[in-house]
Amino acid sequence: MMRLLPRSLFSRLVLVLLGGLVVAQLLSFAIHMQERGELLLQSGGMQSAQRVADIVKLLESSSPVERRKIVKVLSAPPLLVSLDQGPIAPSGQAGPAGPASVRAALFATMIRRFLGDQWPIDVIVADVAPLAPAYGRGPGGAVQGPMHGPFGGAMHSPAQPRLSFVSQIRLHDGALVTFDARQPEQKADWPYRMLLSLAVLLTAVVALSLVAVHWAIRPLNALADAADELGRNIHRPPMEESGPVEVVRAARAFNTMQARLTAYLSERTSVLAAMSHDLKTPVTRLRLRAELLGDPQLRLKFTRDLEEMEAMVAATLDFLRGSGSPEAAQPLDMTALLESLQADLSEVGSHVSIKGRPLRPYTGRPAALKRCLRNLVENAVKYGKSAFIEVDDNDDRLQILIRDQGPGIPETELKRVFEPFYRMEGSRSRDTGGTGLGLTIAKSIAELHGGRLTLENRAAGGLDARLSLPRTST
């Protein structure tokens, strides 16, 4: 069941609003149709009651012989009249409470309104079939119809029963007159004007609901976008603190969190920079003392340790600058950047080849992207002896694939090599140098641009480093 629900908040709010609106409109329409049917029934009953009252007055002033002639002339659908029908119910007996008894009482009240209270009146409600097109004559000139007795007969179709008011009125001389007032069939005619007005109302409410829901969740989308961008760029512009009180509070809390994170990273970078600066003096003194050592091998090991210490500190500072660089994004000629790296490495005897070129400039941070690509290309040259760069550009993404012919990386280590200060033993020897931050820095820069960096071993040997950068990056 939960799988059928929309996943986005926008869709769920729209579904709830539209569902409630549709249910309310359907209920309103059903109530309207019910009331409409009752009004039609009352209107038809009012006309029948008035005609019954007029016929009773006419019969009351006529002789028994004249009454049969009058009945013979006036008895015709939808009002059938008989002088020979037996009592339909004891006078004054009340039927069971229900819609039929209520309608019978209402019809009797209508007759008394036109006739007065001098005549006893009994009324029942019956569901009968539609009137047949032809009627026979019964005893006394009564029209034979669907009603039993003098009205009885099978001259109708049994389909689609409708409502009939059967009333009996006793004249002053004791004669019993029976009326069978057939009401028009309640056809399910659709009120098209009402349906049109409901459609217009529903369309307007749907449009307003879409606008209102979109307007309501827009701050949530802005907050989500800001949080996503914060993971790539700690120096992003603060959120705008405007709108409803709740939105302002959320934006202010987010900006406060960003300011604290920025201050924390800045403080950490400053501390490490100060440590690096303070280490320069003792390292310089150690270098001088190393030169005074008489044992050449000991002097060489001492010097290597000092160089590794300096490289580790420099790499750490480089990593911190890469993860929180305030460098502004700008259009960048990636072809020129790759060719400059190729020329730099060719000067030291490394082989780097390039295939393909970007279709247009890429908007990014020049120094950070150059550091990222340099780390990847230098790794390929260091561990694979050569680097092959392949560029694939389209409207959505810029992908740069860097291949080497080295031993590759064990599958279990492909994710761990991105951890800070992680250096592998075995396939990539520690003797080649490095601090374990090169891939970490490259991955951090890729994510700073909204992209990703992945490593994959080739079946034929070697490692593929794939840098994928979105064209929407800023």
Pairing of strands 386-393, 351-355: parallel
State percent of the chain over pLDDT 70: 78
Residue 196 is assigned to a structural domain of this protein: no
Question: Residue 202 domain-assigned?
Answer: no
Instruction: Report whether 59 contacts 67 (CB < 8 A).
Output: yes
Instruction: Kindly state whether residue 276 falls inside one of the protein's structural domains.
Output: yes
Comparing CA positions, the residue from 189, 188, 78 lying closest to residue 132 is 78
- 178 shares its domain with 252: no
The helix (run of H) or strand (run of E) holding residue 178 is: strand 176-182
Please identify, among 326, 351, 373, the residue that sits at the C-terminal boundary of a domain: 326
> Mean pLDDT across the stretch 326-334?
83
> What is the mean pLDDT of the segment spanning 401-418?
88
Of the chain, the percentage scoring pLDDT greater than 90 comes to: 13
User: What pLDDT does residue 384 have?
Assistant: 82
pLDDT at 155: 35
- Considering the domain architecture, whether residues 38 and 156 belong to the same structural domain is answered as yes
Residue 319 exposed, middle or buried by CB count within 10 Å (0-12, 13-18, 19+): buried
Per the structure, the complete domain to which residue 18 belongs is given by 6-182
Q: Give burial (CB, 10 Å; 0-12/13-18/19+) of 20.
A: exposed
> At which residue do the structure tokens 């098209």 appear?
192
Is the pLDDT reported for residue 467 higher than 90?
A: yes
In this structure, the answer to whether residues 410 and 437 fall within a common structural domain is yes
CATH, residue 250: 1.10.287
Q: What per-residue confidence (pLDDT) applies to 141?
A: 37
User: Do residues 346 and 434 both lie within one domain?
Assistant: yes
Residue range 130-140, pLDDT digits in tens: 544 333 334 43
Does residue 460 share a domain with residue 333?
yes
Residues 6+ apart with CB under 8 A from 12: 5, 6
The CATH number of the domain holding residue 465 is: 3.30.565.10
Q: Which one of 283, 307, 326 terminates a domain?
A: 326
Do 322 and 332 have their domain in common? no
Nearest to 391 by CA among 468, 319, 462: 468
The answer on 359 and 432 residing in a single domain is yes
- Residue 20 covered by a domain: yes
Domain-located, residue 1 = no
The pLDDT tens digits of the residues spanning 239-277 come to 888 878 888 888 899 999 989 988 887 787 777 777 777
Q: Is the pLDDT of residue 387 over 80?
A: yes
Q: State whether 298 and 356 are in the same domain.
A: no
Check residue 76 and report its DSSP letter. Answer: B
Q: Which residue has the tokens 């032809």?
A: 134
Domain boundary among 165, 182, 199: 182
Same domain for 454 and 333: yes
